[in-house]
């Protein structure tokens, strides 16, 4: 059965969502620069608009204490565990318009396509918009899905600080989410199955000329903060032999991270220093302190540990040689996830019935599904994006690719909901 996806409506809603952004719209057609940080005005306006779409589709909407938003199409046996789908709509600074958003608006369109076709699912189908998949504001990714899966301590979460030193508790309450975070965790039998639709954020489908990626594993991500304390002073008066410049030490650490990732010689190892904060941060002041944030990922958690061991060895050398002190804080170091064979099989069956080319693959980016996997069987559906580019304004997926993904998702959800 070929479920009727409204391609124009999907594209139109993707464009509308891209308009809720803090940055100027300078992209070409189909490309929009988007900055939508959790609980900012733009995020709140996007959430309100999404809820209006859910209500138009006759879905029952609830929000939890961290702002995860659930829109449920109630099945004929509403007491059965539901089938879940969804993703996130927050966006890092100067990102693109497809990351996460396709999983939310595509999930909604999949439900509407089933409704149009007169499908009556046995299990309820629930669409989730997770709070803060991106770590931009609170320094840790997948805030909503971690809490939902019970892998992040609620008290620790509430104490997380944003760049203005505001705790999550205060920020979420100001946004209207005032409940107790301990209530966010879902029971293990809440979902019978989960499938997330997402752009690939890598080049493989495009290179292979394939339409659908069926994700069998999600790589293990870890992130760390390093604080390098040196000795500051006036850039004119503090003489070179007396310096313990925190930024020069940081530069060596940045290069050591790159070196350690390359040294594994495995294509699946990636390590990135993505942020640098220099204190005091004046052209005429020797840096006294530098904060770095490191992201390291691998499909093999042991290899990831090897990378970190090498980074720490380099840091010990920098501390000794430069007379600086480096503090390390682990933000998260998560285990990889493996997809459910049954859901992978359901996705592959959907591809076959729709005549779409497909392959199995690893997700190197991590996703809310990594955490949903702790409480439910999961899999993911990838569609190609141009050049594998993501987290940039020129991130792009064709409407045909998005539509293929929604069709596969709809068939899969229908199959899983029985």
242 labeled part of a ligand binding site:
no
We find the least distance from the C-beta atom of residue 235 to a copy of itself, in angstroms, to be 4
For a copy of itself, the closer CB: 318 or 343: 318
**Any residues with CB less than 8 A from the CB of 154 and at least 6 apart, and which?**
147, 180, 181, 182, 184
Cα–Cα distance measured from residue 289 to residue 230, given in angstroms and rounded to the nearest whole number: 6
Contact 318, 324 (CB under 8 A): yes
Which residue shows structure tokens 């752009």?
199
Which element (helix H / strand E) includes 229? strand 220-229
Contact 358, 351 (CB under 8 A): yes
We find the least distance from the C-beta atom of residue 125 to a copy of itself, in angstroms, to be 28
Residues that bind a copy of itself (CB under 8 A): 92-95, 134-136, 139, 141, 200-202, 219, 221, 223, 232-241, 245, 247-248, 250-252, 254-255, 258, 261-262, 267, 269-276, 278-288, 293-295, 297, 331, 363-366, 388-392
For a copy of itself, the closer CB: 157 or 270: 270
Contact 76, 121 (CB under 8 A): yes
For a copy of itself, the closer CB: 37 or 148: 37
206 labeled part of a ligand binding site:
no
We find the least distance from the C-beta atom of residue 53 to a copy of itself, in angstroms, to be 27
DSSP secondary structure, 90-110, as one string: -EEEEE-S-TTHHHHHHHHHH
109 labeled part of a ligand binding site:
no
For a copy of itself, the closer CB: 94 or 312: 94
368 labeled part of a ligand binding site:
no
We find the least distance from the C-beta atom of residue 258 to a copy of itself, in angstroms, to be 5
Residue 179 CB coordination number (10 Å): 13
391 labeled part of a ligand binding site:
yes
For a copy of itself, the closer CB: 60 or 278: 278
At 282, give phi and psi (nearest 5°).
Answer: -130, 145
Q: Which residues are annotated as a binding site for Zn(2+)?
A: 88, 99, 134, 198, 391
Q: Which residues are annotated as a binding site?
A: 88, 99, 134, 198, 391
């Amino acid at each position: 059965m070929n479920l009727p996806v409204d391609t124009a409506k999907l594209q139109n809603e993707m464009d509308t969502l891209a308009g809720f952004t803090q940055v100027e719209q300078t992209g070409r057609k189909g490309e929009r620069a988007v900055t939508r940080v959790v609980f900012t005005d733009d995020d709140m306006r996007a959430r309100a608009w999404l809820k209006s779409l859910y209500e138009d589709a006759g879905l029952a909407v609830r929000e939890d204490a961290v702002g995860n938003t659930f829109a449920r199409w109630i099945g004929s046996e509403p007491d059965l565990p539901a089938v879940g789908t969804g993703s996130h709509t927050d966006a890092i600074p100067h990102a693109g318009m497809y990351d996460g958003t396709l999983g939310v608006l595509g999930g909604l369109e999949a439900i509407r396509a089933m409704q149009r076709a007169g499908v009556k699912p046995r299990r309820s189908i629930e669409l989730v918009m997770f709070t803060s998949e991106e770590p931009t504001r609170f320094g840790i990714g997948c805030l909503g899905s971690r809490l939902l899966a019970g892998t992040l301590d609620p008290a620790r979460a509430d104490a997380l600080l944003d760049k203005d030193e505001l705790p999550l508790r205060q920020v979420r309450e100001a946004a209207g989410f005032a409940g107790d975070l301990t209530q966010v965790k879902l029971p293990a039998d809440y979902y019978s199955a989960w499938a997330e639709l997402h752009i690939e954020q890598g080049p493989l489908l495009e290179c292979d000329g394939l339409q659908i990626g069926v994700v069998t594993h999600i790589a293990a991500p870890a992130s760390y903060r390093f604080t390098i304390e040196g000795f500051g002073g006036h850039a004119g008066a503090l003489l070179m032999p007396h310096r313990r410049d925190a930024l020069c030490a940081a530069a060596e650490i940045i290069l050591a991270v790159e070196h350690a990732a390359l040294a594994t010689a495995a294509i699946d190892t990636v390590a990135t220093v993505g942020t640098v904060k220099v204190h005091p941060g004046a052209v005429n002041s020797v840096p006294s302190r530098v904060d770095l944030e490191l992201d390291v990922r691998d499909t093999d958690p042991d290899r990831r540990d090897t990378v970190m061991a090498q980074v720490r060895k380099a840091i010990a050398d920098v501390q000794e040689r430069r007379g600086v002190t480096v503090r390390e804080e682990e933000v998260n170091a998560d285990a990889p996830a493996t997809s459910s064979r049954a859901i992978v099989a359901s996705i592959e069956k959907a591809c076959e019935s729709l005549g779409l080319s497909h392959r199995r693959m690893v997700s190197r980016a991590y996703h809310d599904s990594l955490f949903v996997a702790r409480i439910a069987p999961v899999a993911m559906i990838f569609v190609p994006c141009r050049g594998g580019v993501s987290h940039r304004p020129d991130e792009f997926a064709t409407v045909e690719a998005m539509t293929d993904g929604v069709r596969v998702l709809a068939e899969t959800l229908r199959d899983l909901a029985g």
